[in-house]
Structures are given as structure tokens and as C-alpha cells.
A and B are shown apart, each in its own frame.
Chain A
Amino acid sequence: MIELSSVTKTFNADRHNQFTAVDDVSLTIEPGRLTILKGPSGSGKTTLLALIGCMARPTSGRIRLHNIRTSFFTEAENSALDITSLPERFLTEIRRTTFGFIFQQFNLVKGISALENIMLPAYPTGENQADFRRRALELMELFSVSRHAASPVEWLSGGELQRVAIARALVNNPAIIIADEPTAHLDSKLSGEFMEMVGNLKSEGKTILIASHDPLVYDSVLADTVVGMRDGRITGITGAA
């Protein structure tokens, strides 16, 4: 479970171009569910995802993660983790073990093979390379992109790129998947395929959080909760349990 209370993120504080991307947001995200952040661009969805995904620290407010395992907290602390004031070093450790990210532009590294791209998040974990290579190959098998294992990502089609990006998000076996506008660059057919894969992940018990202003996503039957956002604030929550 992810618990946000009065989270605010301000950029360029005390300067003329100061703006508040996320303003006093309180929200609870249930485990094993698909939650959608819905809103126009500039509504603060992406910043909120970054805050939840331990990529950035809020200017104020608290974020708590429940039932997350870390190496640096004691067992008791792990049950309700306050990540608000953790330095980047520790946020990153949580991020790479707990979260998998799927980006709007896929964000794959050009010039290296699809397999290497999938393996990238595992490099700094210190895991044995043979182990995560095997896992990456299994994921490629699962998403039927095995034949591209050795090809540079430039050679892949849009649909294949998307599947490689999802495989990469899964390589460290995270409990929570975060996707930022995943269908923005996909046609309806590929978007449909994407939602199908999201459905599979959900049925595996993953918590999924998607920011999108694509009706195909937020009107999907798979969505458990849809959080409406505008100007950094929550405008309404539908389907909450």
C-alpha cells in the first residue's frame, strides 16, 4: 500500500518562475490494483508518479510505503516506510527493487541490443550477470521478442519496442509497476495489446499505477480506481473501494 498525505512539490522555489507541480495531494493506493491518474498534460500526473516512484523527494508532506523490504531498515520499520526524507542513495535502492517503470518515449538506450536494454536495471544491483540474463531472456520469451535479443533497439518496431520496455520494467521483479502515458505513441491496436498485458500483470498480483489522458486507458474495465487531476490537485476519485 502506498499512502500520500498532503504531498507538495515545488520547483524553482523563491524565484520568479516558481511553480507548484503537485499541490497538497493525499491519496491511498491499494496493493494488487490498477490505479489510473487521469488529467490533461501539466496537471501534475508525471511529477506525482516521480514522487511515488522514489525518483524525487516532495517539498513537503509524507509518503509511506507499506510492506516493502529494504536492507537498511529494521523489520519493524519496513512495515510502514516513510520515504519522504530519504537521500537519493536509499530512494534508488527502494526504487530498483520495488518499482518497474514504463515511459512515454520507452526510453530505451540506442546502440545496444534489446536484451542488454532489458538487463540494464539489474546492472547496479550487484546480482550475478548470468542470473539476470536468464531472467531477461525468459521475459523476452514471454513477450515473444526473443528473436530480437541481439538486435540493436533501432531495428525494432513500435510494438516490439513497447514490449521490450515492459520487459525491462519487470526484470528486477518489482511489486509495483509505474507507467507514464504508455499509450501516447501507440495506435489503438497496440494500445489494446498494452492494456491486455497490463491485465496479465494485474492478475499476477502486481500493483499498477498509470498516468494517462487516453480514454482507452482510463475507461478500461481493468481500472480499479481512477484519480482525476488538474493543476496539481486531485479533482475526484472514482471507483475507490
Chain B
Amino acid sequence: MIQHPAILALSVAALLTCFMLAYAARYGTRILEKWDLHSGSELQLDLERRTYLISVILSYMLVFQILSLFLYIFTADNLHSQFTGAMCAAGSLGVNSYGYPVLILKIVNCLLAGVWLIINHVDTRGYDYPLIKTKYGLLNVLAPLILLEAVLQFAYFLNLKADVITSCCGSLFSTEKHSIAGEIAGLPNGPMQLAFFGMMAVTASVGIFFYLRGKGGGFFSFFSSLTFIIAAASLVSFICLYFYELPSHHCPFCILQKEYSYIGYALYATLLGGAISGLGVGALKPFISHPSLSRVIPAIQHRLTLVTLVLYLLFTLIVTWRMLTTSFRL
């Protein structure tokens, strides 16, 4: 294990999140078992008070989670000098087999925590807390994932040994290798660009239609999630090439560096934010018929749709602006 302040910081954060979530999940389970809003019993009043605590914990956790996602990538990048052959975060993450699973888990957990908070927000608007069971059911899915993430992250750090020869980002995302990463990088440019801009256009039109007419929310949610995946693949496949102005550098992490004026943060933040609110629209759809939510959900879906549209538009604008202004051509 490498002694590094950032590793300590990430471990501390993981430990805190785990404790907080374990606590939340424990009471979440009690709520699932004992919840009865029509009762004025002291147990019920106590459980209602606990819901506040759990909401606060989850909100803080989402913030910790998003911060730790970026700190994790940043740390991997910072550590690359310790490993022969690693030239950026991509290399450090490949030092052992835990690096990438942790990254993926972190992204998934961010999305889930975001959706949880959206559902929670809606639930607290309905005077009979209609989504309480759904919410704490989802919490019981989220908790093991967070735990798994923490365990894998510890494993990753414990198994970091300086000087292990690793593949640098040049070879990890090189087009010759047959790994998943290589396959994404090897996706043909033309069709990929078509898919990216096509999906963005489709999502935008479905979104605008839903925004104006209030119909097709499920479609919109589906397309926005699909766009998230396509956009992430495009990031590796062609978007970052325009930022690096190199035809073979497919690394999705270097754009987070100062050399590229931290543009990666804007790209990832807009993409992640758009995906969370897009997912939220779909996650709320099944509950629209609850009488106490019949007015709340459409209003919130409306706002979430706007958020997704604006964030995805920003993402597309940054990408388009770069593709047009750089002298680099594929």
C-alpha cells in the first residue's frame, strides 16, 4: 500500500459513508417492517423522525460520493508516476484488477443516490408519504453497493505496489487490443459521431415534447439514459481526441487535467447531472397515479426534464465548440 494523503482521505470518506449508510439502512429496514402512517403510536412517531435523519444522511452521502468520484480519478492520476509505464489515471487504475470496477461502482452509486434523493424529495411532498416503501427498498439496494465499493476501494489501495509495470493509457485505450476499453476506443468515428449527435437530437426532441405536452416521459427517461451511455462511449471514442488533438489518445481522464483547462469536469458534471435527472423522470412515472402526488410529480418531472435538456445541451455545445474550433481533424 502506498502512503498518500489522498488515499487516506478516500479511505476515511469511504468508511464514513459506509457507517452512515449502514445506520440508515438499519432504520430503513425497520421502517419497511413497521411503518403505519395511520397510527399515532410512539413507534410510528419515532420512525417518522428517523426519516429526517436518513434523508440528511443520504444527501450528505451523495455529495461525498460525487466528490470522491472525482478525487478517486484525480488520485489515480497523481499516483501514475509511481508506476513504470503508467502515464495517467488510466494506467494507475489498471495496476490491479480493482481499479476499474471501483470507478464504475462509484458512477453507478452516484446515479442511484441521485435518483434516491429525487424519489425522497417527491415522497416528502405527498402528505401520506406514498413512496416510503419504494424508497427504503431502494436504500437496501444502494447500501450493499456502497459497501462493495468501499471494500473494493480498500482492496485497490492495498494492492497498489509502486513499480509494477502497467499499461499506460496509450496501450489501454489503444485500438489494437481486444478489451472492452479497446473496443469502445475502436468504435468507428463516423458512425459514433452520428450516433452521438443523433441520440442527443432524439433525446432533445422527446424531451421538448414531454416538456410542452407532458406525454412520453418514459421514452424521454429511456432515451436520456441511453444517451448517457452513448455519450460516455463517444467521450472515449472520439470526443477526447479533439481535446488532445491526437488521433490515438483515447484516455477519458486526461481531460480532467489542468493542461486541458479542467474541461473534463464540465463534461462529466453535465453528463452525470443530466443522467440523474433523466433517470429521475422515469423513476417517478409509476407513482403518478397516487392521489397525493398527482399534482407534485408532473411539476417535478417538468423541472427534471428541463435540467436534463439544459445539461445535455451544454455538454453537446462544449463538444461541438471544440470540434469546430480546433484545427485537429479526424
Taking a contact as CB atoms closer than 8 A, the residue among A13, A84, A90 that contacts B42 in the complex is: A13
Question: How far is it, in angstroms, between the C-alpha of A194 and the C-alpha of B146 when the chains are bound?
Answer: 59
Task: Please state if A84 and B40 are interface contacts (CB–CB under 8 Å).
Answer: yes
Q: Which residues of B contact A89 (CB under 8 A)?
A: 124
| B292, A57: Cβ atoms closer than 8 Å | no
Known A-B contacts A57-B45, A86-B127, A88-B48; A72 and B292 likewise in contact (beta carbons under 8 Å): yes
What per-residue 1/0 map shows which CB atoms of A76-92 lie under 8 Å from chain B?
Answer: 00000000111111100
Contact of A13 among B41, B129, B296 (CB under 8 A): B41
Residue in A closest to B132 when the chains form the complex, CB atoms: A87
A residues 46-62 touching B (CB-CB < 8 Å): 57-60
A59, B128: Cα distance in complex, Å? 17
Q: Which residue of A lies closest to B294 (CB)?
A: A74
**Contact call B40/A85, Cβ cutoff below 8 A:** yes
B4 close to A (CB within 8 Å): no
- Secondary structure at the A interface, as helix, strand, loop or mixed, is loop
Contact A59 B125 (CB under 8 A): no
B37 at the interface (CB under 8 A from A): yes
Digit string of B109-135 for contact with A (CB within 8 Å is 1, else 0)?
000000000000000111111000000
Residue pairs across A and B with CB atoms within 8 Å: the count is 34
Q: Which residue of the partner chain, among B41, B127, B295, contacts A59 with CB atoms under 8 Å?
A: B41
User: Which residues of B from 122 to 160 have beta carbons under 8 Å from A?
Assistant: 124-129
In whole angstroms, what is the CA distance A58 to B40 when docked? 6
Give residues 53-71 of B contacting A (CB, 8 Å): none
Residues 8-37 of A, flagged 1 when their CB comes within 8 A of B and 0 if not, give: 010111000000000000000000000000
Cα A46 to Cα B45 with chains together (Å): 19
Asked whether any CB of chain A lies closer than 8 Å to the CB of B258, the reply is: no
Evaluate contact between A59 and B124: CB separation under 8 angstroms.
Answer: no
A59 to B295, CA, bound (A): 30
Q: Closest approach, in angstroms, between the C-beta of B30 and any C-beta of chain A?
A: 17
The 3 closest A-B pairs by CB, nearest first: A57-B40, A59-B40, A85-B38
In the assembled complex, 6 residue pairs joining A and B whose CB atoms fall closer than 8 Å, in A order, are: A11-B42, A12-B42, A60-B40, A84-B40, A85-B39, A88-B49
